[in-house]
Amino acid sequence: MGRVGIPCTVLDSDGEQVELLRKIGFKVHYGDATRLELLHAAGAGHAKLAVLTLASVEKSLKIVRLLQRHFPQVRILVRVRGRLEAYELLDAGVEDVYRETLDASLEMAVAGMRHLGVPGHSAVRAARQFRRHDEGAVRRMAAVRHDRAAYLSEARQSVKVLEEVLRSDAEREGLDDGWSEGSEK
């Protein structure tokens, strides 16, 4: 059972990690998740969700293809490093792609803005605006990434729109509810 009452099975090829997770109380299968037999043994036939957090986008793609072909009921969430890996997973039909570099970059951007004196609510709101815009831009750019001229055009347009969105939001700053990290009321 997972930590919030949801059944959870972990697949891992690191023996030490498997042993540790079993001691903690997780149901764990040792082996290579790109093997169909292991997915069957782990219960993928009854699974609703698969969360892939591999470092290798190639292995993630192999698992995605196996899941799509043999277990179409499974919703697939994949963590990737950055934009280029996200393109590959989007091309493979994965809707739920999470870029670790985006999250870290946004956290750093908020911290940087705060260090420069930007109020917490403004920094967080700008990061949220950027995330919403960038998620759409990644999907649009994935579709044209093999056409250099179209890709560059989409990238330029995306930057232009983002600048307009952030500028417009900054102009509406006075309409905010006044929340700011560390502020006292």
What is the reported pLDDT for 5?
A: 81
Beta strands 49-52 and 27-30: pairing type? unpaired
Hey, how many other C-beta atoms are within 10 angstroms of the C-beta on 39? 23
- Both 158 and 123 in one domain: the answer is yes
- Both 46 and 121 in one domain: the answer is no
Contact 94, 78 (CB under 8 A): yes
- Where do the H-state alpha helices sit in 71-183? 83-91, 100-115, 120-144, 148-171
Claim: this prediction has a pTM higher than 0.85: no
Domain span including residue 63: 1-80
The number of domains in the chain is 2
- Both 45 and 76 in one domain: the answer is yes
- Both 71 and 140 in one domain: the answer is no
Q: What is the pLDDT along the chain (185 residues), one digit of tens a residue?
A: 555 788 899 999 999 999 999 999 999 999 999 999 999 999 999 999 999 999 999 999 999 999 999 999 999 999 999 999 999 999 999 999 999 999 999 999 999 999 999 999 999 999 999 999 999 999 999 999 999 999 999 999 999 999 998 888 878 765 444 444 544 43
Is 88 a member of any domain? no
